[in-house]
């Protein structure tokens, strides 16, 4: 697995940085007077953009999709809300369709679709796929209109009702748990934490220190807040 920075050989990372670099170069005598800047050392793009997004892409990751599916719960928590809504709707609709097909096949094999007289159906009032689909929805969502119901004629139909009820509880627990975990995720908390636009370097206790300000827009206080910074510096090891 490796990682690369996008636009690796870009001269500047943004228009603002380009203007600053151009001004510094002209002041130091590196400009050619035509708007082009020649620097002594080529500047590389930023690891982290000014808006906080990481400017790093991972490459050569084998079986990336399978790795995300192996931890499907965390994947559902991390994806965007639009995709979470799609998964939410598709999960229920597909489960209703699947069990609707099962009940329709049970009715078809038992001959309930032929409207035979003096015969007890497996599921009463199920004479078409639409009726079987509605019965599937009513069973899984526990609506219970009382118009369609399973009988003791077919044990397989009774088993499928029990099985669908269990599957419905599992789906509800998974989807609702993922939605609640996504809502409780403190990812948007940093929207109310603001940083100073500029950072300064000053002497503190005889050492140069990089300093900036952090502010909390909310009225609530941050308890046991910790600040951690990382310095990224390129260097060549003795091994080359």
Nearest C-alpha neighbor of 72 from the set 92, 87, 53, 56: 87
Confidence bin at 95 (pLDDT 50/70/90):
very high
- Per-residue pLDDT reduced to its tens digit, 8-21: 433 344 555 555 55
67 compared with 167, residue with greater pLDDT: 167
Beta bridge partners of 56: 5
Return the beta strands (E) in the chain as ranges. Answer: 2-5, 56-59, 123-124, 149-150, 193-195, 200-204, 207-211, 214-216
**Can you give the pLDDT at residue 99?**
96
pLDDT surpasses 70 at 33: no
Separation in Å, CA 189 to CA 21, 23, 79, 183, 184:
34, 37, 17, 11, 10
Could you tell me how far CA 44 lies from the centroid of its own chain?
30
- Per-residue pLDDT reduced to its tens digit, 196-228: 888 899 999 999 998 988 888 888 887 888 888
Q: In angstroms, rounded to a whole number, what is the distance separating the alpha carbons of residues 86 and 79?
A: 11
Domains observed in the chain: 74-184 (1.10.287.70)
133 compared with 120, residue with greater pLDDT: 133
Beta bridge partners of 216: 193
Beta bridge partners of 29: none
Q: In angstroms, rounded to a whole number, what is the distance separating the alpha carbons of residues 6 and 136?
A: 50
**Can you give the pLDDT at residue 13?**
46
């Amino acid at each position: 697995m490796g990682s690369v920075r996008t636009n690796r050989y870009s001269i500047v990372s943004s228009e603002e940085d380009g203007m600053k670099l151009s001004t510094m170069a002209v002041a130091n005598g590196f400009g050619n007077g035509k708007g082009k800047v020649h620097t002594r050392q080529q500047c590389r793009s930023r690891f982290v953009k000014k808006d906080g997004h990481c400017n790093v892409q991972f490459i050569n990751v084998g079986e990336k999709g399978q790795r995300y599916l192996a931890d499907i719960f965390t994947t559902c928590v991390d994806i965007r809300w639009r995709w979470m809504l799609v998964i939410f709707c598709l999960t229920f609709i597909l489960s209703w369709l699947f069990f609707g097909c099962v009940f329709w096949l049970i009715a078809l094999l038992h001959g309930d679709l032929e409207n035979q007289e003096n015969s007890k159906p497996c599921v009463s009032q199920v004479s078409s796929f639409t009726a079987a689909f509605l019965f599937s929805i009513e069973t899984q969502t526990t609506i219970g209109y009382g118009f369609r119901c399973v009988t003791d004629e077919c044990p397989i139909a009774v088993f499928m009702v029990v099985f669908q009820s269990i599957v419905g509880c599992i789906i509800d627990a998974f989807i609702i748990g993922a939605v609640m975990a996504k809502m409780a995720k403190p990812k948007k908390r940093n929207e109310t934490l603001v940083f100073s636009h500029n950072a300064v370097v000053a002497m503190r206790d005889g050492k140069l220190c990089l300093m900036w300000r952090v502010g909390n827009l909310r009225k609530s206080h941050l308890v046991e807040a910790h600040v951690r910074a990382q310095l990224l510096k390129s260097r060549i090891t003795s091994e080359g």
